[in-house]
Structure 1
């Protein structure tokens, strides 16, 4: 990883750059964050956090945004949050985005356009699905979103499961990092295939609310709460197949963008 927020030599000796990297890393792991949230997680004063954020903003590593609110908006002005820029994300990844995009573009041109990209995206997900499937199938239904989040985090997605704004309706799976965000911006089939896989894995229709590839701070997937009794494996397989078909038809209009 490149060091972000370069500082003058006299500051380096005091650990300024190391702390600045911690601030940026915390935003990567937890998503867009307020000054107070960063101070609490890192054990710093808010004044110190603001100083580091000022330097990171000047270096185009982070940028201030208005906090996005899902559900009912409370009174008062939303708190300002700080999110990683594209440059900031690149500081944590040695990216081969151009090579990947060029390869997908060649596949589209030579092998059948968007359908070929979609087939590749599904094959890519299938090839790495084993660990996710094992994690999800090893726990009760009500713990599956959390198990999936942990498995995604192990692969670098910095994921977490949390209650939706109306908990009785379901959960939100939040991925604070996406290694292929820049490529998915050009080829949304990657997001669509992931959404299909989540639906099949969790046994229910899911809805993608936001994606990093579309410019949001976090990839957010809504998972509705189900109250169905446990299914036999044959029934579950049949229902998963229907869910995959429904999700594929709807994903083009929902993946990679926020609801209106």
Structure 2
């Protein structure tokens, strides 16, 4: 008989792989505080559903080991917008019209969120923006590095396929962040460019 915890454990494994990248059975067992045998059972189920892929890692000394990562099919289990519809519509526009679309979206979001951040400190604005992105499906979190320096992480990109074809989407998002935060924002990693997550460094 299957445990009631099995679906939630599999979901947790997927979340770990989504936010931290490929991991071994040993890594997952340590993170979940369960036996490696139990992890293998969950991994087997996820593989049968086509949600995980295994890759062999060779090391200078010792035996090679398997590391697991999410498959493309697994991405369907995380928040996404209607990217195909958006792509189809954008394909009908020329470059100038596409730029206007994203600029218009940026202005709309700016008008929506800027009032929420009035009178806030930089740290409070970063926290507010992270909450906004989290609620929008970006799986966002942040950390404070120094008194006036922060990092925002986005482990999911609901518009990944759009951003992959139209760089202006990422550019407008970065500009939106800079305006909302009133600070310099540098993107050091990007999902649309093959990164594990989107990383934004924020400095006053």
Structure 2 length-normalised TM: 0.75
Paired residues, number:
191
Deviation at 1:97, TM superposition (A): 2.3
The residue correspondences of 1:101-116 to structure 2 (distance < 5 A) are 101-108=87-94, 113=95, 115-116=96-97
Q: Structure 1 25/123 Cα, relative in aligned 2: closer, same or farther at 3 Å? A: same
Assess if the C-alpha contact under 8 Å between 1:131 and 1:151 holds in 2.
no
CA deviation vs aligned residue, 1:121-169 (integer Å, no higher than 9, x gap) = 12123223345324433532233222211121122211111145xx478
Deviation at 1:173, TM superposition (A): 0.8
Consecutive unaligned residues of structure 1, counting only runs of 5 or more, are 1-9, 66-79, 227-260
Consecutive unaligned residues of structure 2, counting only runs of 5 or more, are 56-65
Structure 2 residue aligned with 1:32: 21
2:194 to 190, 197, 215: 215
CA deviation vs aligned residue, 1:62-104 (integer Å, no higher than 9, x gap) = 4578xxxxxxxxxxxxxx9865443211233465322211111
In structure 2, C-alpha distance between the alignment counterparts of 1:45 and 1:38, rounded to whole Å? 8
Structure 1 residue aligned with 2:39: 49
In structure 1, C-alpha distance between the alignment counterparts of 2:150 and 2:22, rounded to whole Å? 20
Look up the SS of the partner of 1:128 in the other structure: helix
Deviation at 1:176, TM superposition (A): 1.1
Deviation at 1:49, TM superposition (A): 3.4
Structure 2 residue aligned with 1:250: none
In structure 1, C-alpha distance between the alignment counterparts of 2:54 and 2:150, rounded to whole Å? 27
Structure 2 residue aligned with 1:14: 3
Deviation at 1:218, TM superposition (A): 0.7
In structure 1, C-alpha distance between the alignment counterparts of 2:12 and 2:41, rounded to whole Å? 13
CA deviation vs aligned residue, 1:183-210 (integer Å, no higher than 9, x gap) = 2111111111100101111112211111
In structure 1, C-alpha distance between the alignment counterparts of 2:109 and 2:181, rounded to whole Å? 16
> How big is the alpha-carbon RMSD for the aligned residues of Structure 1 and Structure 2?
3.2
Look up the SS of the partner of 1:184 in the other structure: helix
Assess if the C-alpha contact under 8 Å between 1:135 and 1:148 holds in 2.
no
1:137 to 115, 118, 140: 118
Assess if the C-alpha contact under 8 Å between 1:149 and 1:173 holds in 2.
yes
